[in-house]
Amino acid sequence: MISLLFFMPDSPRFLISKGKEDEALCALRWLRGQDVDYWWEYEQIKASVQE
């Protein structure tokens, strides 16, 4: 199980908090899949981090 952690990207929330918004979008795309509208979730995460 621990070996699977190496294949997981950092969380979008963590990446946004570090100013890595492009990487956060890539992580969301990886987690949710290409066909899912992840922009709403991205904007929600970004708003919660900025509070």
pLDDT by residue (tens digit) across 21-34?
999 999 999 888 88
CB contact burial 2-21 (16+ within 10 A = b; e otherwise): eeeeeeeeeebeebbeeeee
Domain membership flag for residue 39: yes
Q: Is the pLDDT of residue 5 over 80?
A: no
CB neighbourhood size of 31 (10 A): 14
pTM: 0.75
Q: Is the pLDDT of residue 15 over 70?
A: yes
Domain membership flag for residue 2: no
Domain count of the chain? Answer: 1
Domain membership flag for residue 26: yes
Domain membership flag for residue 23: yes
